[in-house]
Copies of this chain bind each other. A is one copy, B any other.
Amino acid sequence: MQCHMRFEVEVQDPQCRARVGKLTLPHGEVETPIFMPVGTQASVKACSQEDLEAVGAQIILSNAYHLYLRPGTETMEAAGGIHNFMQWKHPVLTDSGGFQVFSLADLNKVTPEGVTFQSHLDGSRHVFTPEKAIDVQISIGADIIMCFDECTTYPVTRQKAEESMRMTVRWAEACKRRWEERNAVHQALFGIVQGSVYLDLRSECAGALTAMDFPGYAIGGVSVGESKEEMVSVVEATAPLLPEHKPHYLMGVGPPEDILEAIERGVDMFDCVMPTRNARNGGLFTSQGRLNIKNAQYARDFRPIDPECSCPVCQTYTRAYLAHLYRAGEILALRLNTLHNLFFMLQLCAHARDAIRGGCFQDFKRAFLQRYSLQNGGNE
């Protein structure tokens, strides 16, 4: 089945696998590499949709497990899908809920057919099968939807990782079948490569999924506790196995330094709760590393968070005011910190794209990391 998504690799960096691409989706175009803010419950925490536009978000993430439980697929359908429901006019990607079923819900039983679980909200019983995960995502109506997968914990034995990966592959087949039956051509279905840190399993999984010809491919099962080196080696081994002219999405990654490592190895799309979650704890990104606004030194610091930043927060408010808001428990602190961090991540991707277009991604990465390590940790 030919879906409506288009992906074009526009520029390939001559020295590494980094590339600039253009993803054309029903709700607009997305330049890659791109960071996708996470709006699990149809809201990027502490931001309005106007805020997201203001910080340069092009596509956001939401979650089938959460929206299935609340407000429910009937409400999503009655609203006319997630774009209407939340009034976000640009592309959306929904995760299938596989990760959440395994990490958040009280899990009752996994069978080859799917998972029986209890809601983390009210304990009610539900069944998610690959088919159900696709149906739910069709009700939600995101531009990109994900296969229902099993995300293994870390560490995991090779045998368990292998069994799990094989089930993920069978589920991917079932998802694809359902997606075709439903003829959801306006939603691009991505396959998810699993296999934990076992590179041969990753390779087997990538091969099996590639044979199914998905519109896009994700690397899942990272950011689950493995070391940065292990994560990078998984990306380095897996990304080259994915079809070059399809988008590559690294799920749940990550801090700026990890995103740059992954871009260098050919990844196009990222999501992570870290920028938004850290913001709500006072952790802010700057070009010279991270700082925490709770630290006493910022109470009378009348500079912006990052003097080099052109975000709406840095154009207006001082560290002293943000420190006061945070200490005083003001809700505005959460929003302003979040806007700054999201802008930072989106600018990082914009600068990466510029560097790739200039054929010098690795130089850009080196320079960024050198400055970014200046006060990293020192103030947090």
Contact = CB atoms under 8 A, between A and B. Distances in A.
Interface of A: 41-43, 45-49, 70-71, 74-75, 78-79, 85-87, 299-300, 302, 316-318, 320-321, 323-325, 327-328, 330-332, 334-336
B87 A316 contact: yes
A61 to B, nearest CB: 15
B328 A331 contact: no
A71 B299 contact: yes
A75 B320 contact: yes
A75 B300 CA distance: 6
B43 A79 contact: no
A63 to B, nearest CB: 11
Given A48-B332, A335-B331, A75 B43 contact: no
Stoichiometry (number of copies): 2
Contacts of A299: 71, 75
29 contacts: A41-B324, A41-B328, A41-B330, A42-B321, A42-B324, A43-B330, A43-B332, A45-B330, A45-B331, A45-B332, A48-B335, A48-B336, A70-B327, A70-B328, A71-B320, A71-B323, A75-B299, A78-B300, A78-B302, A78-B320, A79-B321, A85-B320, A85-B321, A85-B324, A86-B321, A87-B316, A331-B334, A331-B335, A335-B335
Nearest to A331: B46
A335 to B, nearest CB: 7
Contact of A317 (B87, B320, B336): B87
A321 B327 CA distance: 30
Contacts of A300: 74-75, 78
10 cross-chain pairs, A with B, having the tightest CB-CB distances, nearest first: A46-B331, A41-B328, A43-B330, A71-B324, A43-B332, A87-B316, A78-B300, A75-B300, A331-B334, A43-B325
Given A42-B321, A71-B327, A79-B302, 19 more contacts: A41-B324, A43-B325, A43-B328, A45-B330, A48-B332, A49-B316, A70-B324, A71-B324, A78-B302, A79-B318, A79-B321, A85-B318, A85-B324, A87-B316, A87-B317, A87-B321, A331-B331, A331-B335, A335-B335
A288 to B, nearest CB: 24
A307 to B, nearest CB: 16
Contacts of A324: 41-42, 70-71, 75, 85
Contacts of A331: 45-46, 331, 334-335
A324 B327 CA distance: 29
A304 to B, nearest CB: 11
A313 to B, nearest CB: 9
A87 B325 CA distance: 13
Contacts of A336: 48
A43 to B, nearest CB: 4
A305 to B, nearest CB: 14
Report which residue of A46, A74, A321, A324 has the largest number of chain B beta carbons within 10 angstroms of its beta carbon.
A324
Nearest to A74: B300
Contacts of A334: 331
A45 B49 CA distance: 19
Nearest to A78: B300
Contact of A332 (B46, B71, B316): B46
Nearest to A43: B330
A246 to B, nearest CB: 33
Contacts of A318: 79, 85
Contacts of A328: 41, 43, 70
Contacts of A330: 41, 43, 45
